[in-house]
């Protein structure tokens, strides 16, 4: 499944010349294995410059392996992965100044202060942040902790320090692996604002998150992985629409599915509970209400709503439990 943009051509040479592709991140038929276990199988997607792309999935879905491959930490068994036109496995060093990562594990020197950490990082990368070291620290909401040693920071504060180091390099591509885990609501919103600023400035962000509201709020496109494959792709609206809306109601237990009108959606009717998963919410709701009015039947607790990302994930988890 090719999910977005145009596949990039192979680089011109082993020296890592940029491929003539419009995609900042380009993945085609990617397969990754751990021994005999296939963690990622035939995954394809592309991310445009300045886009925020959310890669979602339940635990064990394959998203971490995919991200690690794009960071150059793993060599794929087959298929192609390109970041800024280069193979990340072969040209990881060449991309060091253009690609940043907010990982799940921090690796700070705990005896350094926040200011010392950021200053050391910028000096190692030969950077001069536009706002200066102090401004960069303030931007992520750590100005009041600038003189605090890393060992004394909370988990959420370390995540914000991670963010400062990642954006301080002014990356063209940012891999953000659950960047708001452990943050309070105000800090989460602050991180969202920074990610929006980055994409507005042309940075490509590939985000993984367990907060589905975060993906819905930020992502231009989302891909949902399950068992190593992409099972849903598109804008949030497209992914939600592909799952269908849900109509629920209570019925007299004497009524079963054979008594109901013909509906476009999938009907489940048992023990007086009606559930209709439908791609035609308005039309099926009209048919159901017309039938109920004609039969003089009360649809108790009637609810009709489009699907949500939370609902899609809940069903994936239910399927996983049944496997």
- Specify if 98 maps to a domain: no
pLDDT at res. 246: 92
Tell how strand 221-226 and strand 52-57 pair up: parallel
Cα separation, 234 vs 307, whole angstroms:
15
3-state class of 160 per DSSP? Answer: helix
Q: What is the DSSP letter of 268?
A: E
Q: Are 128 and 178 in contact (CB under 8 A)?
A: no
Chain Cα centroid distance, residue 153: 27
3-state class of 288 per DSSP? Answer: helix
pLDDT at res. 21: 61
pLDDT at res. 219: 96
pLDDT at res. 59: 82
- Specify if 267 maps to a domain: yes
Domain total of the chain: 1
- Specify if 263 maps to a domain: yes
- Specify if 1 maps to a domain: no
pLDDT by residue, tens only, the chain of 323 residues: 345 443 333 433 333 343 446 899 999 999 999 999 999 999 999 999 999 999 998 888 999 999 999 999 999 999 999 999 999 999 988 887 789 998 776 678 899 999 999 998 888 877 666 678 899 999 999 999 999 999 999 988 999 999 999 988 889 999 998 899 888 899 899 999 999 999 999 999 999 988 889 999 999 999 999 999 999 999 998 998 888 899 999 998 788 788 899 999 999 998 889 999 999 999 999 999 999 999 999 999 999 998 888 888 887 776 665 55
Termini Cα distance of the chain: 24
3-state class of 156 per DSSP? Answer: helix
Instruction: For the full predicted model, state whether its pTM sits above 0.85.
Output: no
- Specify if 257 maps to a domain: yes
Please state, as a whole number, how many other Cβ atoms lie within 10 Å of the Cβ of residue 257.
12
Cα separation, 251 vs 185, whole angstroms:
41
Range of the domain at 259: 245-305
Q: In what order do the strands lie in the sheet with 266-270?
A: 266-270, 273-278, 245-250, 300-305
Q: CB burial class (10 A; 0-12, 13-18, 19+) of residue 262?
A: exposed
- Specify if 285 maps to a domain: yes
- Specify if 95 maps to a domain: no
- Specify if 236 maps to a domain: no
The runs of H, that is alpha helices, within the chain are 63-70, 114-124, 132-139, 155-168, 185-200, 212-218, 236-243, 281-295, 309-322
């Amino acid at each position: 499944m090719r999910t977005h943009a145009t596949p990039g051509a192979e680089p011109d040479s082993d020296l890592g010349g940029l491929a003539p592709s419009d995609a900042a991140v380009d993945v085609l038929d990617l397969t990754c294995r751990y021994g005999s276990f296939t963690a990622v199988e035939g995954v394809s997607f592309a991310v445009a410059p300045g886009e925020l792309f959310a890669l979602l999935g339940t635990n064990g879905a394959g998203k971490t392996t995919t991200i690690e491959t794009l960071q150059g930490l793993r060599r794929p068994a087959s298929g192609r992965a390109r970041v800024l036109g280069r193979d990340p496995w072969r040209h990881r060093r060449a991309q060091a100044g253009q690609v940043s990562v907010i990982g799940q594990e921090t690796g700070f020197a705990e005896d350094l202060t926040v200011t010392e950490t950021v200053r050391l990082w910028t000096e190692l990368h030969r950077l001069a942040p536009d706002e200066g070291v102090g401004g960069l620290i303030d931007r992520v909401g750590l100005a009041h902790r600038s003189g605090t040693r890393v060992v004394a920071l909370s988990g959420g504060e370390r995540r914000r320090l991670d963010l400062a180091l990642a954006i301080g390099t002014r990356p063209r591509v940012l891999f953000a692996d659950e960047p708001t885990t452990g943050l309070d609501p105000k800090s989460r919103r602050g991180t969202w604002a920074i990610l929006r600023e980055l994409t507005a400035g042309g940075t490509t962000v590939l985000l993984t998150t367990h907060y589905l509201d975060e993906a819905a709020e930020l992502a231009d496109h989302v891909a949902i992985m399950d068992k190593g494959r992409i099972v849903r792709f598109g804008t949030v609206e497209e992914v939600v629409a592909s799952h269908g809306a849900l109509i629920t109601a209570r019925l007299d237990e004497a009524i079963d599915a054979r008594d109901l009108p013909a509906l476009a959606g999938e009907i489940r009717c048992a023990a007086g509970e009606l559930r209709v998963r439908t791609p035609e919410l308005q039309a099926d709701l009209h048919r159901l209400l017309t039938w109920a009015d004609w039969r003089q039947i009360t649809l108790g607790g009637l609810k009709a709503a489009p699907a949500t990302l939370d609902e899609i994930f809940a069903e994936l988890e239910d399927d996983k439990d049944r496997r």
